[in-house]
Structure 1
């Protein structure tokens, strides 16, 4: 069975997934190249999670799959060092054909499912009149199902922003609104590439609402808050890890536990990781990686007689700007107005660079199942045509020996 990319959203609480293109085309068989992209998506998920944890406070909820797809679409038009850095951060295969398999992965998820709703949609808005390469646009359509739409950023940037936001809301069943905040799209914007995903699935074993009661949830500072806690017996896979010293001493308090809750059809699941203590999440996060999670899930066993307690919750994020986390991972050249190379997209003498990467996400976990959505937008704008040097404010100066550097 293939290892699917993480559609789970990592965080203190939760999980997420994926919006259907209008015409997904014929079914895509699973391939080795798609598996390589899926594995890369999983590694990217944990890398990005670690960087977001350094910045975000409170509950953290995002879709690595949505961000990965939007950036992979962008990477197909990158060249040189720009492309190399994007491929490395996204853990994409280096071969051009294998990179294109990211589009096949999107098409794989674009097909209707019988037991749950999982849909993926991609789109591109480009400044009309700009010399876009036909091969780039055709590749986006063929691989990602990304319909290209002419945009008029030059005269109506906010109108185009609202049109992009309307698309994202439509593709996420109105769960993601105002994806691109006001002021982010300017008259020098040339392109916006977007991914939207939506998921709605019922638990394979549902919770009885009569068993949902208010119970204490212990925060990292040891204080407690009441939450609606769902409860059931069994119907999930479970793994608990104990320290060897604790086992030898006969202590059976786990360092952490992992539960995998399947949705109806058993093709998708939510994975929940809980540390052994209220302040143990940082230590668990430090151990978290794609191989580690694979190993824990392999060890998980059916928990037919184990009690499962899971909070009932609903989360909606604000606009998460991802430029700094991505730069910290090594994706620097794409954001550099003087160094970015996206000539695989166009034939203009004017350079383009990424001026924003933004995501919004939503999740609702209840007794019946999960509804979740996310959307990511990547913007590219023109580098300023002319930069004057004007010493018309307080400034510094020095006189140096050019030959010796003193």
Structure 2
């Protein structure tokens, strides 16, 4: 008999069991990463985040779990439902709070229904979805959402859950020996442009190093956070991740990588990545200096070099950015699922999503026409 419970802090759940259920497949759903967000002040009700983690127990043994949050807004999700919220509130409803099955501030596909790898895993994932659905109804919420889902999780969301997709740009390792081997697969113009960009940065002065989290000192992390925060401030956005969270990233060791442009002891620019056994994930960038091509060098080219050197299969540099196409990244679908409690509202959104899906299909077709590779796209 499965018993669903909801926890206001991930610290209430055993780290080893949580990580075993997640299969160690993604640093973003690791207990350490999610706990770091909570204990360093990044998850706060006044910022629209309240932990409400779902755990399924069998005879008091944790057998499945899901990172779950009560959301008071739609910030930090990267699957945009502002128009849905506005429509529902204009109709006299209350859209927030809602339930969200996702990783805060992280548009990274990965496991969301943590059920291990055993024969019961599909049934446990379905039980998690039923529990999310039941909790939405119990609390009288407008909706529940699950973002950046993997295929194994998608099948658990059926019936009343609405399907939605979007596009990111990912790089795939086809067994390249080095960066030049990768360049050789690109169209001549793309290859020439990348070489020119890299040569300009190399001739401009800063030393560029890839550092792992454990090798960075507290002052390094303070500088890295300041660069991250300045980037958000310059764009008029809220830098939700705290200095304490960045310092906590160092505890993840080699799972964290930072490409640094250094002059003296000062980090002038940085790009921060996380990685697992198969994938490198680009997360944040910041710079004190104006240097053409530096953003591409740190955020993309150093990441590709690192992925090749480590034998990683994929590099996901983050959300959005058609300019990535010219640098060897190709369009990839991302997937989310959405339950809207009111039947008529759900039907209206379902119809809108049909039109949105056609637009996404057309967009991907247009992107494919501009593929950067000389041969078959990876």
The TM tier, using the shorter chain, reads under 0.3
TM-score under structure 2 length normalisation: 0.25
Larger Rg: 1
TM-score when scaled to structure 1? 0.24
| Structure whose residues are more often helix by fraction | 2
